Structure 1
């Protein structure tokens, strides 16, 4: 049966949108973008590119009028405009009420708790002073309710001596978890209710900047743990009834318990390697889900890894990539550059997907690539 493919309006024109556009070309789906940066990574590739704030009601509402489906590549968007578009019959995926909940980590954690999903203990705070009321809860992480992104909006509070590091806005204090590994499962659901999960990945975070530095897939865990992680992600997207993609970040404790850390309702850093490493990429899967198409196979083609390319410390200005030629000469190494013209310290400028047959091979190649590629100016 013939199904007309929808036109898609995407809020955000960054690197996630850029990779979504690359997947959309294969399916001949027209994707247009709204972004405040006239030189955002999508600006030369989108079917139509509009400069404007995705946090502004009028900009989002007027942009959304022109498309069959409105979606996101960043969750910090104007929800009121999306709600109005949905009332007027536009398809908005993920749905606005889900975005509203996920935008606020306080509501997100309460959703996990209220519906029986495993997560670390937490208490809500209104300001920095509230930390002192919960001295027995420390060490813990103080997280902003709204606005945190890419490691910003999170502070470790080891004791009351660290209270000044906390936030003077509504947030939550989350008990520090003793964990062995940080995992992520990306799961998709289409409007027909079909659900499909990617294999769990294992993440290694940058010690200073709370960004994913390196990951490999599949995670080095038992089949039982992998099945448990996948079930949590599948059950969560099913309970939410979310249409689109959901990245579920998790902690694996020494006792084999899995706790949800937080979620993102969009393509995610923990799924970049799927472009080369899986039969369907997370980007194509997101498009299939929001376009009402059957979901694709998530089967891994082998062992894969992903290394973020961050701007080197001490360099700001027009970007240059040192060592790219040498890295490209290594079998199974695939750089993805995001088209950002300006670099600055620790800015995400690209990533490298690495394919191999064993975890050890992936780690060895990643160390080679780390020693070769430098993002400078």
Structure 2
């Protein structure tokens, strides 16, 4: 693959959001020719890529025509037309992650079946075809209802506490999952190249915004015991190997109060739980994804320092042209790195950027990150 660098390799990215933007920032170092497809004419990737095309990611012809003259395609979002990607693969375009992996992960029901078939620990579940199925569930209340398709960033998930919640439940094919009494939400990002080489990033601990159910605060590396971290990383490696995926894979998990680890969901791409790797690790998740899909040696995933990632979400009550309050003050704190995503308009809980705070002293890194969280506000 190295012979194709220096501007000759044509890499397509399906999706032009912040993940694609950060992937391009890394890909510039490989001097590849980047093409991006996104439905938003003002997507964050627009000004960074060699060629930007406006179009639907779910339309067969649009995706096929976008990819047919490219050497390789990757994704920054799973909601894409997999039939078109399969046809492109048949015609010799490299698609990483592979279309079969994307198809499986697009359906949370297929994900759950994959976990069960491969002895991957996960919460108890059952399938329903519509909300009427809730009345006959074998899972004890309270439980979680998840849409099988199209849920993202906390959308497509509902807590069902009693039969009174049935009326507001999703009326579409869903999974009903046992409510997990977890101590912490954790994640491991694993990478695999086409040779079968694999590497994990250190396990991270996550805090979620209770209203939007989005990752709001992330701590890396974890200080849980070696046994817990090793177990989480082993699960991630097993999943990547069982899938035979090429690229990076984010494995989101629950650490229960009994010390068990249950897999929640997968994302076959760079992920919110890996943004801190840009400053906090020797190789970033974006650099690792490119190494994996280019079939290069995988990079060193060790932490350089304690790294805290704070998501910059649009403030409640504000919608319109984005303004960022408090950045100057935040940048006066040592070890603060700001990443704005180039989104022109803000709305409540929209991901507008993130900040990484690094320090060799873990307590100080967390203290500084809490200050940053209070200082920077995305308003309009």
CA distance in 1, matches of 2:57, 2:37: 6
Q: Which residue of 2 aligns with 1:114?
A: 117
CA distance in 2, matches of 1:165, 1:111: 29
- Equivalent residues in 2 for 1:191-206, closer than 5 Å: 191-206=194-209
CA distance in 2, matches of 1:3, 1:166: 53
Give the conservation status (yes or no) of the 8 Å contact 1:155–1:165. no
Q: Secondary structure at the match of 1:180?
A: strand
* Structure 1 alignment gaps of length 5 or more: none
TM-score of the superposed pair, with normalisation by structure 1: 0.98
Give the conservation status (yes or no) of the 8 Å contact 2:139–2:176. no
Which of 76, 83, 87 does residue 84 from structure 1 map onto? 87
- CA apart distance, 1:165: 2.9
CA distance in 1, matches of 2:348, 2:213: 14
Which of 148, 151, 171 does residue 151 from structure 2 map onto? 148
- CA apart distance, 1:362: 2.1
Q: Which residue of 1 aligns with 2:346?
A: 343
- CA apart distance, 1:27: 1.6
CA distance in 1, matches of 2:3, 2:195: 14
Q: Which residue of 2 aligns with 1:64?
A: 67
CA distance in 1, matches of 2:362, 2:144: 31
Q: Confirm or deny that 1:75 pairs with 2:78.
A: yes
CA distance in 2, matches of 1:134, 1:2: 53
Cα-to-partner distance string for 1:350-372 (whole Å, 9 max, x where unaligned)? 00001012332122111211221
Q: Which residue of 2 aligns with 1:188?
A: 191
RMSD, matched Cα:
1.1
* Structure 2 alignment gaps of length 5 or more: none
Q: Which residue of 1 aligns with 2:379?
A: 376
- Equivalent residues in 2 for 1:2-21, closer than 5 Å: 3-5=3-5, 6-21=9-24
Give the conservation status (yes or no) of the 8 Å contact 1:95–1:242. yes
CA distance in 2, matches of 1:44, 1:124: 43
**Does the C-alpha gap of structure 1 residues 96 and 142 become closer, same or farther in structure 2, counting only changes over 3 Å?**
same
CA distance in 2, matches of 1:312, 1:31: 33
Q: Which residue of 2 aligns with 1:272?
A: 275
Q: Secondary structure at the match of 1:3?
A: helix
CA distance in 2, matches of 1:2, 1:105: 36
- CA apart distance, 1:136: 5.1
CA distance in 2, matches of 1:249, 1:99: 17
Question: How many residues were matched structurally?
Answer: 377
Q: Confirm or deny that 1:35 pairs with 2:27.
A: no
Cα-to-partner distance string for 1:302-349 (whole Å, 9 max, x where unaligned)? 110100001111111111101111111111010100000001111100
